[in-house]
Amino acid sequence: MPLTQDKKLVGGADLSRIAGLLNLSSTEEKLLEKDERQTTIDLRTKLDEKTVILADAYLVYHNTARGPAKGGIRLASNVTMDETRDLAERMTWKTALTKIPFGGGKSAIRVDPRTLSTFTKKLVIRRFVHEIRWELTSGSYIPAPDLGSGPPEMAAIYGELHMPECVTGKPPRVGGLPGREEATGYGVSVATIYALEKLRNKDAKESTIAVQGFGNVGSWTCNFLSESGSRIVAVADADGGVFNSDGLNIKDLHKHVDEKGTAKDFSGKAITNEELLALDVDVLIPAAVENVINRETAPRVRAKIVVEGANGPTTAEGDTILRNGGSVVVPDILANSGGVIASYVEWRSGKSGSITPRQEVYNTLRETIEDAFHRVTETSDRLDLSYRDAAMVLAVDEVVKAMHDRGWV
Ligand code: NAD
């Protein structure tokens, strides 16, 4: 993927423009711009008499007017405070748009998870829990998996605290939720089908789809969309991709990826990530990394619907080019909100001790995302805005009203 000099959509959109549309006061705007809290921790994990892992760790509360700070723990060798705060801000908008009673937070540990054994990774996580024990036990920050962390690490957090509502994304046998693993991909598929039917008057069965990324989000999105009858004609991951105009057999692709660790060399025509982004399909779903649709790649995008499975896959310039070219973008804060919606159901079950069946999780995801999408299209039509701006207008308005309810402004 080309490196881009494009402007990043900080926190998902141009906040000052949204503040202008909503006529916000300068105090309201300032409160939204700034994080409530940024904590940097010098994390020291002693492994044995001679070895100590030293790593910076970050915890950000962007805005908690609507509820506790909710957001995953990212483990990555190059993660920064800036990236952590950007993701925390996206959580503020995501939870507000979908009306989930959480605020925006995020945490990160600057280690390469691939260099850590499962055991060592859990030690690092336990040390992090030790450092932020108050935030976790008071319920002011509720972590979940993010890149580099998953259900085993969430089980380790639960093991330290013995409070099921302190963390979401736990394995189902340890207080986790059936359906949490696939929730984001399910949500992306719901948003895609809604966009096809309501915006293009097209049945999923008649649609062609290209998906970048075959990790958690991309692979589950492919599963659900192919079950709905869509033709997934191309998939690519970090190593390259594959195209088949008749549609890829997703079950066989899973087997291939399990064996080879990549979608590359699966039966079909080999394609690059750049070629995938430029395919003539109904829907393009970037579900891997950020900034891939930018000033270099956006002019070649031919899909009339782009559904952002990943966080921040489109730069500011890329967004403008897509819009001018007539493509509709379903923004990340709507399209990939399934994970946090399921996290909310898990948190609620943990608090009440109730069991939530998988079908109920799917129903909640579908109803919540369709409701949010409906409000976004209505706002977009009424104010003549892109879906990204309309989603932000709704989310920012919700947070500002909550700040007033709380007496912050
Ligand atoms: P993952 O690690 O499970 O999968 C990432 C996939 O992207 C892999 O297939 C990898 O090969 C591919 N990839 C990596 N670099 C690439 C590149 N340069 N070009 C093309 N493909 C590349 O991650 P995930 O959990 O599926 O998350 C993907 C995105 O979705 C991230 O932006 C994440 O923040 C976002 N997201 C995830 C969730 C969730 O519940 N997992 C929720 C909301 C948003």
- Whole-number pLDDT of residue 1: 47
- DSSP β-bridge partners for residue 287: none
* pLDDT for residue 10 is more than 70: no
Contact 369, 193 (CB under 8 A): no
Phi-psi region of 175 (alpha: psi -120 to 50; beta: other; left: phi over 0): left
* pLDDT for residue 3 is more than 90: no
Q: Of the listed 94, 106, 170, 264, which one is catalytic? A: 106
* pLDDT for residue 342 is more than 80: yes
Atom 5, ligand 1: residue with shortest CA distance: 215
The string of pLDDT tens digits covering residues 141-193 is 999 999 899 999 999 999 999 999 999 999 999 999 999 999 999 999 999 99
- Alpha helices (H) in 228-311, listed in sequence order: 250-260, 273-277
- DSSP assigned state of 252: H
Rounded distance between C-alpha atoms, residue 279 and residue 6, angstroms? 22
- DSSP β-bridge partners for residue 307: 330
- Whole-number pLDDT of residue 210: 98
Rg (CA), the chain: 20
251 included as an active-site residue: no
* pLDDT for residue 11 is more than 50: yes
Q: Does 238 contact ligand 1 (Cβ within 6 A)?
A: yes
- Whole-number pLDDT of residue 14: 81
Q: Which atom of ligand 1 is nearest to the CA of 218?
A: 26
Sheet holding 283-286, edge to edge: 269-271, 240-243, 231-237, 208-212, 283-286, 305-307, 328-330
Helix (H, G, I), strand (E, B) or coil at 312: coil
Contact 140, 69 (CB under 8 A): yes
Domains 36-174 and 183-335 share a fold: yes
The string of pLDDT tens digits covering residues 240-286 is 999 999 999 999 999 999 999 999 999 999 999 999 999 999 999 99
Distance 335 CA to ligand 1 centre (A): 14
Mean pLDDT over residues 297-315, rounded? 96
Atom 36, ligand 1: residue with shortest CA distance: 310
- DSSP assigned state of 6: P
CA-angle at 147, arms to 84 and 193, nearest 5°: 100
Q: Which CATH number fits domain 36-174: 3.30.160.20, 3.40.50.10860, 3.30.70.3190, 2.60.40.420?
A: 3.40.50.10860
The string of pLDDT tens digits covering residues 351-385 is 999 999 999 999 999 999 999 999 999 999 999 99
Residues near 114 by beta carbon (within 8 Å), at least 6 away in sequence = none
Taking the complete model, does pTM exceed 0.75, yes or no? Answer: yes
Mean pLDDT over residues 223-231, rounded? 98
Distance 237 CA to ligand 1 centre (A): 9
- Alpha helices (H) in 98-170, listed in sequence order: 118-131, 133-137, 151-161
The torsion of the CA quartet 111, 108, 150, 231, rounded to 10 degrees, works out to -100
DSSP notation for 228-239 = TT-EEEEEEETT
* pLDDT for residue 393 is more than 90: yes
Percent of the chain with pLDDT over 70: 97
- Whole-number pLDDT of residue 2: 43
- Where do we find the tokens 């800036």? 82
Compute the 3-state secondary structure of the chain and give helix, strand, coil in percent, each to the nearest 5.
50, 15, 35
Q: Does 67 contact ligand 1 (Cβ within 6 A)?
A: no
- Alpha helices (H) in 216-357, listed in sequence order: 216-227, 250-260, 273-277, 316-324, 332-335, 338-352
Domain ranges for the chain, please list them. Answer: 36-174, 183-335
CATH architecture of 183-335: 3-Layer(aba) Sandwich (3.40)
Ligand 1 pocket, mutate which of 75, 87, 217 (most atoms under 8 A from CB)? 217
Distance 212 CA to ligand 1 centre (A): 9
Helix (H, G, I), strand (E, B) or coil at 120: helix
Mean pLDDT over residues 91-112, rounded? 97
Rounded distance between C-alpha atoms, residue 322 and residue 92, angstroms? 25
Mean pLDDT over residues 288-298, rounded? 95
Distance 286 CA to ligand 1 centre (A): 9
Hey, what are 293's tokens? Answer: 């649709």
- DSSP assigned state of 307: E
Ligand 1 pocket, mutate which of 182, 216, 330 (most atoms under 8 A from CB)? 216
Question: What is the overall mean pLDDT for the chain?
Answer: 95
Nearest to 365 by CA among 91, 100, 64: 100
Rounded distance between C-alpha atoms, residue 409 and residue 157, angstroms? 35
| Number of neighbouring beta carbons within 10 Å of residue 260 | 12
